[in-house]
Amino acid sequence: MGCSAGAGSLSPDARIAVTVPTDGAVACPSASGAASAPQCWATGRLTTRTGCSDTHCEVDGGLMTRSVNYAFCGISSPDAATDAQSESALADTAGALSLDDDLCEFHAIVVPECAGSAGMLYFDTELSTMTGGAVPAGAKPYIEAFASPTHLAPSTGSSTETTPGHYRIGPAMFDISGNWSVTLHFFGTCSDALPGSPHAHVTFTLQVP
Q: Which residue ranges make up each domain of the chain?
A: 54-208
Q: What's the confidence (pLDDT) of residue 193? A: 81
Q: What's the alpha-carbon Rg for the chain, to the nearest Å? A: 17
* pLDDT tens-digit profile, the chain (209 residues): 433 323 333 233 332 233 434 454 556 765 544 444 457 899 989 998 777 778 888 876 666 777 788 888 888 887 665 555 556 778 788 788 999 998 889 999 999 999 888 899 999 999 998 888 889 999 999 999 999 999 999 999 999 998 889 999 999 999 999 999 999 999 988 888 887 889 999 999 999 99
Architecture of domain 54-208: Sandwich (2.60)
167: CB partners within 8 A, 6+ apart: 124, 125, 126, 127, 139, 141, 159, 160, 161
The 10 Å Cβ neighbour count of residue 86 is: 13
28 vs 94: CA distance, rounded Å: 10
Q: Is 169 in contact with 142 (CB distance < 8 Å)?
A: yes
Q: What's the confidence (pLDDT) of residue 25? A: 53
Q: What's the confidence (pLDDT) of residue 18? A: 37
Q: Is 198 in contact with 73 (CB distance < 8 Å)?
A: yes
- Tell me the backbone φ, ψ of residue 70, rounded to 5 degrees: -65, -30
120 forms beta bridges with 173
pTM of this prediction? 0.79
194 vs 62: CA distance, rounded Å: 26
Nearest one of 164, 147, 48, 170 to 97, comparing CA atoms? 48
